[in-house]
């Protein structure tokens, strides 16, 4: 599958993006349901509280109107009657005007409420006609009209109560719709949450398998190499991510080790054969020492030339010794610089580890901010609902709650962005730390190689010094050859001792070659 060629970082980012999209869908559904519920609550409030308050006011005005009409009927003087009549007329006009304004603003009510509105308007007309009889009729007719007007007022109040009941029924219907919306949103949230959990588990399992399976394969191969199994056949991996690159590099390394071990085995065998031949040659040299003594007279004529050549070789050896000392000094400086680089790399690695810890602490703080923002958002929603219930008194508090919720959402978005940046920093810091760790290992390997080279230069210097001494001995021996046979005998003994020393060196070399062969035999190529 083509996604197997993606880098590990892209896989993790893809899974994170999918989970973020699922979380956003859950948040949108939650916001939609809350918005619908809040809208329904506002509608319920406008349907019940406003109408209840107006209808209660109308009942109170009707009661005062009826009391004013009774005062007109019971007025003792003409002046009192005129005053009471004026107050009654103003009150009746106010009721008519208020009722007309109220009914004109309600165009979306049902037929039953409109019928009740018409009945109430009719009762007001009947009451106005009865009030004319009270004002203009005789005392007896006024008393009868007053009783009839009171009955009309009672009937009008009953109509107002019926209107109030109709509005309550409408509010109950809206509340039922809001509950239905809430249940639907709850079901959607549960379904999205369950789907998000399932998708998250599946994606996490996929990432785990795509990363851990190749790593387990690499660990198994390394275990076989550690046991000396270099003959394993490793296929070429087609995936182009970091793990595929690692497996292919491991395959190349195993092939290189197999060739190196085979070469070392061949060299060890060749060294063993050469030591046998050298031993045979040493025996022949030892046998020819007698011949050297017999032909010493022939060397006498060439003693001066040998002495001059010995002096020249001594000068060259001193020059080589000086070069070797200079090489040792430069190697020491290079080793010191590599050690300084190693210390600086260790310091950088420690700083990277500290930076990663600080990034983790920042991530924890960002998570705390996210939690606080979520709680603030919930508190703001609760405050908005409570302010909606409070009506006009909570309108200002609703504005503040909305602003708090908006700030909480902005805080949540900013904290989420910071969390993403912190995760990116942690990943980059981890990658950089791994690269610095590899650099530290390479620096240490270079330091070890420098130490080995330094030892080799020291051995070369010792060998040159030994060669210089031997050249001096050869020069002295050549001089002694010219002085007499006794000196020839002494030189012959020295040559015999040197041959014995060479025989011991060859024997040691043979033993070392055998040890090397046994050490390499653990690797199976």
Q: Is residue 439 in a domain?
A: no
- CA dist 292 to 299, 301, 489, Å? 9, 15, 10
Q: Is residue 468 in a domain?
A: no
At 321-345, the pLDDT tens digits run: 787 678 778 777 877 877 777 777 6
Residue 158, pLDDT score = 93
At 336-391, the pLDDT tens digits run: 877 777 777 678 667 767 767 777 777 777 678 778 877 887 877 787 787 777 77
Phi, psi of 396, rounded to the nearest 5 degrees: -65, -40
Residue 443, pLDDT score = 64
Residue 336, pLDDT score = 81
**Can you say whether the dihedral through the CA atoms of 263, 264, 265, 267 is positive or negative?**
positive
Output the six-digit token pair for 290.
Answer: 């007698």
At 132-173, the pLDDT tens digits run: 888 887 767 778 888 888 899 999 999 999 988 988 888 888
At 270-291, the pLDDT tens digits run: 766 766 676 676 677 566 656 6
Residue 272, pLDDT score = 64
Q: Is residue 160 in a domain?
A: yes
Whole-model pTM: value is: 0.36
Output the six-digit token pair for 239.
Answer: 């995936």
Q: Which range has highest mean pLDDT (228-232, 362-366, 457-461, 478-482)? A: 362-366
Q: Is residue 178 in a domain?
A: yes
Q: How far apart are CA 261 and CA 25, in angstroms?
A: 61
Residue 102 has pLDDT above 70, yes or no: yes
Q: Is residue 406 in a domain?
A: no
When divided into structural domains, the chain yields a total of 1
Q: How far apart are CA 318 and CA 464, in angstroms?
A: 8
- CA dist 182 to 56, 161, 179, 384, Å? 32, 31, 5, 17
Q: Is residue 370 in a domain?
A: no
| pLDDT greater at residue 110 or residue 218 | 110
Domain range holding 190? 2-220
Residue 230, pLDDT score = 65
Q: Is residue 364 in a domain?
A: no
Mean pLDDT of the chain: 75
According to DSSP, the residues that pair with 229 across neighbouring strands are 524
């Amino acid at each position: 599958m083509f996604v197997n060629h993606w880098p590990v970082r892209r896989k993790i980012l893809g899974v994170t993006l999918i989970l973020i999209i699922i979380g956003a869908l859950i948040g949108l559904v939650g916001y939609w349901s809350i918005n619908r519920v809040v809208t329904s609550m506002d509608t319920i409030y406008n349907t019940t509280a406003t109408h209840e308050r107006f209808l209660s006011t109308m009942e109170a005005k009707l009661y005062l109107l009826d009391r004013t009409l009774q005062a007109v009927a019971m007025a003792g003087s003409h002046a009192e009657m005129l005053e009471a009549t004026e107050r009654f007329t103003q009150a009746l006009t106010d009721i008519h005007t208020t009722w007309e304004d109220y009914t004109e603003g309600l165009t979306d009510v049902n037929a039953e409420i409109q019928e009740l509105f018409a009945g109430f308007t009719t009762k007001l007309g009947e009451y106005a006609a009865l009030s004319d009889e009270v004002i203009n009729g005789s005392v007896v007719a006024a008393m009868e009209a007053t009783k009839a007007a009171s009955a009309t007022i009672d009937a009008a109040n009953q109509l107002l109560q019926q209107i109030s009941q109709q509005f309550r029924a409408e509010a109950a219907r809206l509340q039922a719709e809001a509950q239905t919306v809430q249940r639907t949103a709850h079901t959607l949230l549960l379904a999205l949450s369950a789907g998000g959990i399932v998708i998250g588990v599946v994606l996490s399992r996929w990432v785990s398998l795509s990363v851990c399976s190749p790593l387990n394969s690499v660990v198994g191969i390394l275990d076989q190499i550690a046991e000396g199994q270099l003959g394993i056949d490793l296929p070429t991996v087609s995936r182009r991510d970091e793990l595929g690159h690692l497996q292919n590099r491991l395959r190349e390394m195993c092939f290189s080790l197999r060739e190196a071990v085979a070469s070392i085995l061949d060299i060890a065998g060749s060294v063993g054969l050469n030591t046998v031949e050298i031993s045979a040659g040493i025996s022949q040299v030892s046998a020819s020492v007698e011949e050297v003594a017999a032909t010493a007279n022939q060397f006498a004529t060439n003693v001066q030339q040998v002495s001059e050549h010995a002096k020249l070789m001594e000068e060259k050896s001193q020059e080589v010794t000086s070069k070797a000392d200079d090489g040792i000094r430069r190697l020491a400086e290079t080793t010191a610089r590599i050690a300084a680089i190693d210390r600086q790399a260790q310091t950088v690695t420690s700083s990277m580890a500290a930076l990663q810890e600080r990034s983790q602490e920042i991530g924890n703080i960002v998570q705390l901010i996210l939690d606080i923002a979520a709680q603030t958002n919930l508190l703001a929603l609760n405050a908005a609902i409570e302010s909606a219930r409070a009506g006009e008194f909570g309108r200002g508090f609703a504005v503040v709650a909305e602003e708090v919720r908006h700030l909480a959402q902005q805080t949540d978005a900013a904290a989420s962005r910071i969390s993403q940046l912190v995760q990116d920093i942690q990943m980059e810091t981890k990658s950089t730390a791994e690269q610095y760790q590899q650099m530290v290992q390479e620096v240490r390997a270079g330091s070890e190689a420098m130490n080995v080279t330094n030892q080799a230069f020291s051995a070369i210097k010792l060998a040159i010094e030994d060669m210089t001494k031997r050249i001096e001995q050869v020069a002295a021996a050549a001089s002694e050859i010219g002085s007499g046979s006794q000196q020839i005998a002494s030189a012959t003994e020295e040559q015999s001792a040197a041959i014995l020393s060479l025989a011991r060196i060859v024997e040691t070399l043979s033993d070392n070659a055998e040890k090397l062969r046994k050490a390499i035999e653990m690797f199976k190529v």
